[in-house]
Every structure is written in structure tokens, then in C-alpha cells.
Amino acid sequence: MEFKRLIDSLNEQGKPLLVEAWKTTLILVKIVIPISIATKLMNDWGIIKYIGLGLGPVMECVGLPGSMGLVWATAMITNLYAAIIVFSSLASVEHLTVAQVTIIATMMLLAHALPIELRIAQKAGPRFRFMFLLRVFGALLVGLLLNQIYLRSGLLQTEYVALWNPGVSDPSWKTWAVDQIKTILSVYGIILSLLFVVRLLAWLRITALLTRILEPVLRMMGMSKDAAPITIIGMTMGIGYGGGLIIREAKSGALSKKDIFFSLSFMGLMHSMIEDTLLMLLLGGHISGVLIFRFLFAMLVVFVMVRLMRRVSERTFTRYFFRTSEMKGKNSGPL
């Protein structure tokens, strides 16, 4: 009887659910399409290639050949899939170790699709420049640390053998346009599914269970339990797919400014932990870096941030870290 009532309720809410999913999708489309066009032009004009060459010395600092700079630049400006194609074309001639592949894979997980994902985060409140520095320098620090850990321990020093080759993509504008349409439709389907699942999980009280499980982790980092739902969305679905829901939640007024700020900071370093992690494992990265170390690093960074922000005035916080005009949430409240 309970399940039947749920089905009846969802049937009644079917049309509003479709409309809500479409409105949420439009939020993302307005962000993604202009940035995607700019990114496509940058790629066609060779700008990404030059950025990659400039990153060569940085790659050597984290124990990688300079050519991996092009891989990371592609990931940061476009997406992980485009970076994988570039990586596959270079890996066969670089004779990389599993440790090196794990390092570049983990760095890509922390800093990828920045134009789109940072704009989504910005719409929810956190300032663009702060999130950019957090993710880029966070990725560099992770690269430095993992390189030292693997070198000093002697772990993963065997030669890398490609597990998967994605092939060559068609760079034409026609293919790009078709891909964008497919992406919009898939995002709409995913958001619609998400809204349905969110209601189903709430009815089954699984959301409350996940919140209780995540609450101790958030408390350990110094975050409020109110941030649990939005953090779960970002961690599991990613900023790109869950972005519309994240923006909507941030603007609903249910969360304080600092809850939103710390939640998005955490998910900036640790998001899409299922899909993206599996993708990097398939590429050849090791779970010790792409999942375990990344998760621990994100927790430590937010733990430190929360404590440092206690010394920051409200005026400084809104000036340098958070755009109050983007949302109408609660007061920042105590940390």
C-alpha cells in the first residue's frame, strides 16, 4: 500500500517533475553552451596546445614527462574524455610507469572541465578565482605528494600497459554540434532521473541514512550536517551533471553561505567519485591515488579551510571567497 501511494503521488507530480527537470537543465545549458563554443575555438586555434607546452616544466616537477602538460591542459580546458585521447596518443612513446599514470590521472580528476565546472560553482556562490586556485594548486600539490610517496616507497614503478584506447575523435563542428545536442538530452534525462531518485530515496528514508553516515565525516571537517544532501549530489553525480541541482539547492535559502562554500570546495576536489574514478582506473591509474588519496586530501584541505575561515571576518569572506548576490541563503552562522 505504501509503495502504491508513492506511485500515485509520482503520477500526480509527473508533469511538474518534467517541467522542473527542464528548468534545471536550462540553467546548465545557459552555462555550458557558450563555454563549450569558446573551448572548441581554443582547441581549433591551437591555444590549448600552447598552454600544454607551457605546463611542461610543471609536469617535470611532479615526476612526469613534459608532454603530459598537454594532457593536463586538455583536461582542464575541455574534459576528461578529450584528455584521455591526447594521453593515449602520447603514452605509447613515453614509457610511463603505473605511478606516473596514477599521478596524471589524479591531477586530472582534481582539475578538469574548469570553465564549465567553475562557472557552475560560481553560480552557487563561491568566487571563480578562489575555486580555480583551489583546484589547480590542489592538483599540483597532489601530484607532488603522490610522486614522493611512490618514489620513496617504490610502489607502482612497473611499466604502464594501456588497458584501453578510445580511438580518434572527429574534430568537425558538425560532430561537435551533434555531441552538444546529445549531451543536453542526456543531461535532461539524468536530471529527471535524479529528481525521481531523490524523491524515492527520501520516501525510503535512504537520504536520511546517507546523511547520518556522512554527518560524522562532515563534522570531522567542521561542516554542518545541512550540507550533506548537496555534498552527496556532487560527490556521486559530479558538478557537471549535478550542477543544476546544486545551484537550485544553494539558492533555495536552506543552506548557509559557509555550508555552500565548504561543500562546493570539498566536491571541487572530490566529485563524480564513481564515474570519473572508474574512467581513470580504466585508463590505468591506481586506486591508491585516484580514489583513496584524493578523498583523504579533500577531507584534509576542507578541515584546514574551515579552521582558517574562523579567523576571517564576514566582510573579507564575502569580498574574496563568496558572492552573496548569487544566492539568498541563511547567514553564514557559526563554524
Q: How many CB atoms lie within 10 A of CB 104?
A: 31
Longest dimension (CA), the chain: 65
Q: Which residues contact 65 (CB under 8 A, 6 or more apart)?
A: 59, 94, 96, 100
Q: How many domains does the chain have?
A: 1
Q: What is the distance in angstroms between the CA of the first residue and the CA of the last residue of the chain? A: 44
Distance CA(303)–CA(106), nearest Å, equals 20
Tens of pLDDT along the chain (335 residues) come to: 555 565 555 555 566 777 777 766 676 676 667 766 776 777 778 777 788 788 889 999 999 998 899 889 988 988 887 788 778 777 767 789 999 999 999 999 999 999 989 988 888 889 999 999 999 999 999 999 999 999 999 999 999 887 665 555 566 777 778 877 776 776 677 667 766 766 676 677 776 676 677 778 777 787 777 777 778 777 877 786 666 777 777 777 777 888 889 989 998 999 888 778 888 888 899 999 999 999 999 999 999 999 998 899 989 998 899 987 655 544 444 34
| Contact of 250 with 230, CB cutoff 8 Å | yes
Assess if residue 50 is contained within a domain: yes
Which position has the grid cell 585516484? 290
- Give the range of the structural domain holding residue 291, as residue numbers without chain letter: 2-164+172-326
Distance CA(152)–CA(99), nearest Å, equals 12
| Contact of 229 with 243, CB cutoff 8 Å | no
**What is the per-residue pLDDT for 223?**
78
Assess if residue 81 is contained within a domain: yes
3-state secondary structure of 269: helix
Amino acid residing at 58: V
**What is the per-residue pLDDT for 111?**
95
Distance CA(73)–CA(289), nearest Å, equals 20
Assess if residue 36 is contained within a domain: yes
Sign of CA dihedral 119, 123, 129, 130: negative
**What is the per-residue pLDDT for 34?**
75
**What is the per-residue pLDDT for 149?**
97
User: Can you say how many angstroms the Cα of residue 259 is from the centroid of all Cα atoms in its chain?
Assistant: 17
Assess if residue 332 is contained within a domain: no
b (16+ CB within 10 A) / e for 242-276: bbbbbbebbbeeebbbbbbbbbbbbbbbbbbbeeb
Assess if residue 107 is contained within a domain: yes
Assess if residue 331 is contained within a domain: no
Assess if residue 291 is contained within a domain: yes
The number of residues making up the chain comes to 335
Distance CA(262)–CA(223), nearest Å, equals 7
Of 88, 132, 172, 164, nearest to 268 by C-alpha is 132
- Reading the block at residue 328, the C-alpha cell is 539568498
